[in-house]
């Protein structure tokens, strides 16, 4: 036998043994890694009956929403009620091949890997919608590490075997965070546009579909130019996927979108009552249940009664405060720069309180727009009781700057922010000068004074607010209205301003006894044989003291005693 052939055979035997050993080691290592990754993974079957955290909503007796308690604002939406253009927008933006893959899209992963290598950082994940649902609902860790990504892929593959595509997509659209305090498209439609999902336009849907990856960075309120660029990307993808025509996409992109700032309904509709309801629910059911189970709470409070009660209390407190007299101007401004800055501050303050809708224009990206345009058109309508560039309304109270006082006409010109106003004498005659009603406005105000005014009327044609001098009250008050037939609370006002003080004077304040002692006194009288028709002599009573009184009457021994009459009841 040729010795070279034997050596070659021995070499190949050794090499084959090494390759086989290496294969076994790699296989065992792979199985070990797979076991490590899959061990402890939650069962995907739990998603069949997954319960999202829903907001608990509070309603008045007419069905108007007056409160809401939640950590994650989310509203359920039936999948069949979601328009196709909304679904197409999200699929084009996040997972165009959703209905074709089995939970993992290898092409997307390859593109993501290449993108990350080129950029030299982790910038793109390549996750499918199924993987995003697995990460959001089944995995505790959200860190961008390879083990989490592998666990996510295993769960996604299992989900595709357990759940239908519709079920997975429904979970995704209900759970995804879209910024602006909104979890899921139901909350996003309400928060951003004050609409239901079924009413979303293509422009609105494409704007929302661009948010899931970076909801804070692409939030249209904070970065309108970036939000518009992202919307452009979504529309291009919709065109590529044959969901839109090119010209249609251009028209949609140019369409201005009205956006609404967040409003905390708990602080605006019936704040003291809603806070009482919250405390009651927390005590009875616990915070976990109240904040996540989506209760519908129907109360006895009547919304119209509530608003009437608030107006009545404010009016009454201000009337009481005025009886204490005029306390003078709040401050005086001398320089023109001070006056201009003060007017700008008042303008911003009034707009912040109104919280008007904003407009995202079609050219926001081109203009590099950083701040949304404010939509004041609702306040300029003929039917509106607002007037001016700083919208002020009839019955509203505002700080005002005196521009000048006309002693001949007995009128004063003022500015409420950027809105012109005029003060006349008659509605300001609650101010007393040496016990007599005010006769001349220049006796109490002058140019440069900062005062509080109430808007009595508005002149739409001239854009002027007709006002009366007022003042911020130093007293407060409370009101509780209930139906004596059944005890139903119809209105509750615990103070003048819930944002300034959450102390509920209607329930928490301690009051003087007043006439509440009368039932006890009359009950004792009935017990002694008196009746409602009994006559009682109200002449002074004198107790004869014979030094044998067992009860201390604070009388001097040997002297008669009579009670001191403090007042009639």
CA distance 203 to 215: 17
**Helix, strand, or coil (residue 509):** coil
- CA distances to 334, 337, 480 from 341, in Å: 12, 6, 41
pLDDT at site 569: 42
Kind of pairing between the strands at 296-298 and 56-59: parallel
List of long-range contacts for 124-127, beta carbons under 8 Å, 24+ apart: 125/149, 127/152
Highest mean pLDDT out of 484-498, 524-538, 553-567:
484-498
- Kindly give the residue spans of alpha helices, DSSP state H, lying in 255-390: 271-285, 287-292, 303-323, 336-354, 377-380
- How far is 401 from 342, CA to CA, in rounded Å? 8
Looking at the chain, the whole-number percentage of residues with pLDDT higher than 70 is 87
Is pLDDT above 80 for 507?
Answer: yes
Task: Measure CA of the first residue to CA of the last residue in the chain; give whole Å.
Answer: 135
Quick one: pLDDT at residue 516? 81
- As a whole number of angstroms, the distance between CA 131 and CA 159 comes to 9
Q: What is the largest CA-CA distance in the chain?
A: 149
> pLDDT class for 117, splitting at 50, 70, 90?
low
CB 252 within 8 A of CB 243: no
- Least Cα distance to 300 among 61, 491, 58 occurs for 61
Told to judge if 312 belongs to the known catalytic residues of this protein, a careful annotator would answer no
Q: What would the mean pLDDT of 466-482 be, rounded to a whole number?
A: 94
Inform me whether the pLDDT recorded for 430 exceeds 70: yes
Assign 373 to helix, strand or coil. Answer: strand
CA 550 → CA 317, 546, 553, 555, distances in Å? 50, 11, 9, 12
Whether the per-residue pLDDT at 548 is higher than 60: the answer is: no
- Per-residue pLDDT at 141: 63
Length of the chain: 569
Which residues of the chain does CATH 2.40.50.140 include? 331-357+375-470
Q: What is the pLDDT of residues 292-315, one digit of tens each?
A: 999 999 999 999 999 999 999 999
What pLDDT score does 302 carry?
Answer: 97
In 3D, which of 494, 482, 506 has the Cα closest to residue 300?
A: 482
Q: Give CA 143 to chain center in angstroms.
A: 30
pLDDT for the residue 246: 96
> What's the whole-number mean pLDDT along residues 308-323?
95
Digit-coded pLDDT (tens) for 203-224: 999 999 999 999 999 999 999 9
Of the residues 94, 152, 160, 269, only one is catalytic, namely: 94
At residue 412, the 3 state secondary structure works out as strand
Q: Which of 337, 515, 531, 539 is catalytic?
A: 515
Alpha-carbon separation of residue 376 from 122, 219, 347, 373, 466 (angstroms): 43, 22, 13, 9, 21
**Orientation angle between helical segments 246-254 and 202-209, nearest 10 degrees:** 80
Average pLDDT over every residue of 371-392? 93
Residue predicted with more confidence, 37 or 308: 308
pLDDT band at 554 (very low <50, low <70, confident <90, very high): low
Total Cβ atoms within 10 A of residue 455: 25
Q: Which of 216, 232, 222 is nearest to 259 (CA)?
A: 222
Query: What tokens does 368 get?
Result: 């590099």
Between helix 224-240 and helix 246-254 the angle, nearest 10°, is: 160
Q: What is the pLDDT of residues 136-185, one digit of tens each?
A: 888 866 666 677 778 888 899 999 999 999 999 999 999 999 999 999 99
Q: Are 56 and 68 in contact (CB under 8 A)?
A: yes
Tokens read off for 321: 């405060």
What average pLDDT does the structure give for the chain? Answer: 88
Would you say the pTM of this structure is higher than 0.85?
no
Q: Give 519's pLDDT tier (boundaries 50, 70, 90).
A: confident
Kindly state the average pLDDT of the residues 390-414: 96
Distance between CA atoms of residues 569 and 566, nearest Å: 10
Q: Are 351 and 390 in contact (CB under 8 A)?
A: yes
pLDDT at 538 over 80: no
Q: DSSP state, 506?
A: T
- CATH fit for domain 331-357+375-470, picks 1.20.1250.20, 2.40.50.140, 3.40.50.720, 1.10.1060.10: 2.40.50.140
Measured at the CA of 509, the angle between CA 505 and CA 514, to 5 degrees, comes to: 115
Burial degree of 383 (CB within 10 A; 0-12, 13-18, 19+): exposed
For the segment 339-352, the average pLDDT, to the nearest whole number, is: 96
pLDDT at 171: 95
Active site residue 162: no
Helix ranges (H only) for 95-183 are 106-119, 129-137, 146-162, 165-175
Residue 100 has pLDDT above 70, yes or no: yes
pLDDT at residue 311, rounded to an integer: 95
Element spanning 120, H or E: none
Residue range(s) in the chain whose domain bears CATH number 1.10.3810.10: 72-262
Sign of CA pseudo-dihedral 309, 311, 312, 314? positive
**CA of residue 409 relative to chain centroid, distance:** 47
Decide which of 429 and 545 is more confident. Answer: 429
Asked if residue 291 lies in contact with residue 70, where contact means CB atoms within 8 angstroms, the answer is yes
Strand partners, 422: 413, 466
CA-to-CA distance for 543 and 566, rounded, in angstroms? 18
- Compute the average pLDDT of residues 239-253: 97
Residue 568 has pLDDT above 50, yes or no: no
Q: How far is CA 260 from CA 118, 183, 192, in A?
A: 39, 16, 5
Q: Measured between alpha carbons, how far is residue 481 from residues 302, 304, 459, 491, 527 in Å?
A: 10, 12, 36, 5, 33
Specify the residue for token string 């994940």: 125
**Residue 336 to residues 388, 401, 418, 449, 459, Cα–Cα distance (Å):** 21, 12, 15, 13, 27
CATH architecture, domain defined by 72-262: Orthogonal Bundle (1.10)
Question: Percentage of the chain surpassing pLDDT 90?
Answer: 70
Query: CA 203, 204, 207, 213: dihedral to nearest 10 degrees?
Result: -140
Q: Please report the DSSP string for 209-260 in residue order.
A: HT-TTSTTTT-TTT-HHHHHHHHHHHHHHHHHTTSS-HHHHHHHHHS-EEE-
- Among 16-20, 170-174, 201-205, 224-228, the range scoring the smallest mean pLDDT is 16-20
């Amino acid at each position: 036998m040729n010795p070279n052939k034997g050596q070659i055979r021995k070499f190949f035997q050794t090499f084959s043994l090494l390759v086989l050993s290496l294969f076994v080691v790699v296989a065992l290592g792979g199985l070990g890694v797979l076991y490590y990754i899959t061990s402890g993974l939650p069962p995907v079957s739990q998603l069949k009956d997954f319960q999202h955290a829903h907001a608990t909503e509070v309603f008045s007796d007419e069905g108007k929403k007056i409160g809401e308690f939640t950590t994650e604002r989310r509203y359920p939406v039936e999948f069949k009620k979601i328009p196709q253009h909304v679904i197409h927008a999200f699929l084009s933006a996040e997972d165009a091949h959703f209905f074709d893959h089995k939970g993992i899209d290898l092409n997307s992963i390859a593109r993501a890997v290449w993108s990350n290598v080129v950029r030299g950082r982790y910038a793109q994940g390549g996750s499918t919608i199924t993987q995003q649902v697995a990460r959001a609902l089944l995995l505790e860790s959200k860190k961008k590490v390879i083990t989490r990504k592998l666990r996510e892929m295993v769960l996604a593959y299992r989900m595709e075997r357990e759940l239908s595509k519709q079920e997975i997509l429904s979970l995704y659209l209900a759970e995804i965070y879209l910024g602006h305090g909104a979890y899921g498209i139901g909350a996003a439609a309400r928060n951003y546009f004050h609409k239901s999902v079924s009413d979303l336009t293509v422009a609105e849907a494409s704007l929302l579909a661009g948010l899931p990856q970076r909801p804070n960075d692409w939030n249209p309120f904070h970065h309108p130019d970036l939000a518009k660029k992202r919307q452009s990307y979504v529309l291009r993808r919709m065109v590529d996927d044959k969901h839109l025509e090119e010209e249609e996409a251009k028209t949609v992109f140019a369409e201005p979108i009205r956006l609404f700032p967040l409003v905390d309904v708990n602080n605006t509709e019936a704040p003291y009552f809603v806070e009482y309801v919250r405390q009651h629910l927390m005590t009875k059911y616990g915070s976990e249940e109240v904040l996540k189970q989506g209760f519908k709470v129907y109360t006895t409070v009547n919304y119209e009664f509530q608003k009437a009660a608030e107006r009545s209390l404010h009016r009454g407190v201000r009337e009481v405060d005025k009886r204490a007299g005029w306390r003078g101007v709040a401050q005086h401004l001398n320089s023109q720069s001070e006056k201009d800055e003060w007017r700008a501050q008042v303008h911003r303050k009034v707009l912040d309180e109104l919280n008007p809708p904003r407009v995202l224009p079609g050219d926001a990206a081109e203009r590099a727009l950083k701040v949304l345009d404010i939509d004041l058109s609702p306040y300029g309508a003929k039917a509106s009781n607002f007037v001016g560039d700083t919208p002020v309304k009839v019955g509203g109270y505002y700080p005002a700057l005196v521009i000048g006082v006309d002693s001949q006409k007995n009128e004063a010109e003022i500015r409420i922010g950027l809105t012109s106003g005029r003060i006349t004498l008659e509605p300001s005659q609650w101010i007393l000068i040496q016990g007599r009603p005010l006769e001349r406005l220049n006796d109490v105000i002058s140019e440069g004074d900062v005062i509080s005014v109430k808007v009595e009327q508005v002149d739409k044609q001239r854009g002027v607010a007709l006002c009366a001098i007022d003042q911020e009250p130093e007293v407060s008050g409370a009101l509780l209205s209930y139906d004596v037939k059944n005890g139903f609370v119809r209105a509750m006002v615990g103070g003048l301003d819930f944002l300034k003080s959450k102390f509920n004077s209607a329930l928490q304040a301690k009051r003087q006894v007043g006439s509440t002692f009368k039932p006890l006194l009359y009950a004792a009288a009935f017990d002694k044989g008196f009746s409602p028709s009994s006559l009682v002599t109200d002449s002074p009573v004198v107790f004869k003291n014979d030094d044998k009184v067992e009860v201390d009457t604070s009388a001097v021994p040997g002297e008669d005693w009579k009670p001191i009459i403090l007042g009639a009841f």
